[in-house]
Amino acid sequence: MKNLPIFDLAVIAAYLVAMVLVGVYFSRKNKNADQFTKASGLIPGWATGLSIYATFLSSNTFLGVPGKAFGGNWNSFVFSLSMPLAAYMASRFFVPFYRQTGEISAYTHLEHRFGPWARTYAVVCFLLTQLARMGSIFLGIALSLQALTGFSMQMIMVVMGVCIIIYTVLGGMEAVIWTEVVQAVVKTFGALLILYLIVQAMPGGVTSIVDIGATHDKFSLGTFSPDFSQSSFWVVLLYGFFINLNNFGMDQNYIQRYHTTASAKEASKSLWLCVWLYVPASLLFFVIGSCLFAYYQVHPEFIDAIKQKVALDRLPATASAAEVARLVTSLQPADYGDKVMPHFMVTNVPPGLMGLIISAILSAAMSTISSGMNASATVFTEDIYKRYFNPNPSPKKLLALLHLSTVVVGVMGLAAGLAMIGVKSILDAWWTLSGIFAAGMLGLFLLGLISRRTTSHEALTATAIGVLVILWMTFSGNLPDEYGYLRNPLHSNMIIVVGTLTIFLIGVLLTKLKNGRSTPSEQTAAMAK
């Protein structure tokens, strides 16, 4: 960052210091586990809503969405269009359910419903999902700051990881929420500023952008044909509905926020505030991607430098110049879309504004990582430590464990980010991993909530079959050609859809078969349970 002007460095430093000071301020009130995990239920609904919005608007959105729009079209925006229906289901059924249980963990009720195995399975899936999420976000930070600073991605991840871990451990949930309120404003303003700078730099302005975008079909939402083997409108809509239903109904990041407000009504309001903010905000990032595509169509001479950088990142350090040149010529827009916005910032953002935009990117990452670390620490403490090791730890020991597990989760998320270096698309990587890990959780949760007669045996059988289906859909593409007929014919985004429905429908079917063979008295006893 030594290449940045002093003023920009001062803006970034001021932002980071302010976030840490907020953590220090709330650390004085952070004297017990209840305060650390749910801020004692004293947060206003509007602040919780902005916090949930900030968690959604991560660096995956900030960098991955413009990259997707640059390399393709607006097909992925259909994900956002599915949010209102998922939010309706959550506010109607899930929020009241969790508020009534009073349990801070989203997975405790699964043990009440099906036994310890169900709770443990959901916890493992959640923690793996969080590691995938945090890893992709750490990668997003590194992609942008590498272009802006010239430092290695590994160094950037480690330095930022340490800073975020310190800030999150200090703050607790109250600091997480109030810093995310600030971060929601900073990152939204940063996105608007980037859009303004692109339009200003574009010869012909908005008219030229629209003409180029329309010529190259950049505004398409995808094909409307019922084709589930490609990323059609319907595939993304189904994926978005199921993944958002999982977010609002099973993800500890959001369930935990429902307990930070004073009532279920306030919690529902916070959920809807997130939706009404995120849908237009995500559209803003697709617009940015299309604007960047138009800009680089007018200035194709800048693309070579971007391709060269992508090729060097993907090839080993020992690669020859000829190997680099061959890879450069084969790269398509989808291969280097994530690198385009950082390049534009380096070459077009004037001194004085770079610090603000970098702060916006940092806020996009910090908000999601900090909430994910807090939620993961809560799940580990409630669902693993207290369940299997010590059900009644002292308040002091419990708070220390929350701090320690927060650090451990942060380090593991950082390691996941380092492992993701070189992926083709941040957004694709996150969508694939989240679909794999979330499918089993959502199917099991819906089975327990809707099919009241289903017992542990049917649920376990259905989950085992569902996991096998998920594994087949995920890895069958690697089968050799002679076994090509065994490959999954559906798009990878359908994994969560098919996996969820497999567990739910097989569980319901097994329950009906069992009840059909049982006597009326046995059915009554099962319902009573």
Burial state string for 427-440 with b = 16 or more CB within 10 A and e = fewer than 16: bbbbbbbbbbbbbb
Work out the number of other CB atoms within 10 angstroms of the CB of residue 348. 15
**pLDDT of 1:** 41
Domains along the chain with CATH numbers = 6-23+38-294+334-425 (1.20.1730.10)
**pLDDT of 288:** 93
Residues in the chain with pLDDT values less than 70: 1-3, 29-30, 39-40, 59-60, 147-150, 422-439, 517-529
CA–CA dist 284, 115 (Å, integer) = 45
User: DSSP string of 247-285?
Assistant: HHHH-HHHHHHHTTSSSHHHHHHHHHHHHHHHHHHHHHH
Contact (CB, 8 A) for 13 and 163: no
pLDDT in tens, 163-221: 788 877 877 787 788 888 888 888 888 889 889 999 998 888 899 999 998 998 899 99
Phi, psi of 420 (to 5 degrees): -85, -5
pTM: 0.81
**pLDDT of 169:** 82
